[in-house]
């Protein structure tokens, strides 16, 4: 079982072909916040908005397009049943759980001082 976010998953999309070819029983649980996880922290840190509003594909459909079973869950009440079905499936599966962009809680990790320092350190010198 692999648990990941949509942004990280996009870096490994080609591995869906490997999963299909090998039929390893890997279960991918993907939290799709439309690449919005960094945005609340960046906003809280007062950082400029640099392309955080990106279009997000249907990862379940991407999985299906290469022959892997894909589920897309938008209702939290459906998640338990979908997870049971996914875990019972013999081959690879992608379960895409849609996350409400406005309700993401970064909890104690949203220390604005630390976030701001990291964001500013990563900006080109002219922008900082």
pLDDT in tens, 39-98: 655 666 666 666 556 667 899 999 999 999 999 999 989 999 999 999 999 999 999 998
User: Is pTM, for the whole model, over 0.85?
Assistant: no
Q: In the chain, how many domains are there?
A: 1
Residue 120 clears pLDDT 50, i.e. is over it:
yes
Share of the chain above pLDDT 70, in %: 60
Residue 109 lies in a domain: yes
- Structural domain harbouring 57: 2-121
Q: Is residue 128 part of a domain?
A: no
% of the chain beyond a pLDDT of 90: 46
The angle at the Cα of 17, spanning 12 to 19, to the nearest 5 degrees, equals 90
**Number of helices followed by number of strands (H, E) in the chain:** 6, 4
Q: Is residue 105 part of a domain?
A: yes
CA atoms within 13 A on the CB side of 54: 16
- Distances from the Cα of 121 to the Cα of 43, 52, 61, 116, 124, angstroms: 16, 18, 37, 8, 8
CATH number at 23 reads 3.40.50.970
Which tokens sit at 81? 């049943």
Tell me whether residue 114 is in a domain: yes
């Amino acid at each position: 079982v692999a648990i990941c976010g949509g942004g990280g998953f996009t870096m490994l999309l080609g591995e869906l072909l490997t999963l299909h070819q090998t039929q390893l029983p890997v279960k991918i649980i993907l939290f799709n916040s439309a690449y919005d996880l960094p945005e609340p922290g960046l906003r809280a840190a007062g950082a400029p908005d640099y392309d955080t509003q990106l279009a997000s594909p249907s990862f379940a459909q991407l999985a299906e397009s290469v022959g892997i079973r894909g589920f897309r869950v938008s209702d939290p009440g459906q998640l338990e049943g979908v997870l049971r079905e996914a875990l019972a499936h013999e081959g690879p599966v992608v379960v895409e759980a849609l996350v409400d962009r406005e309700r993401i809680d970064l909890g104690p990790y949203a220390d604005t001082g630390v976030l701001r320092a990291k964001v500013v350190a990563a900006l080109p010198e002219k922008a900082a």
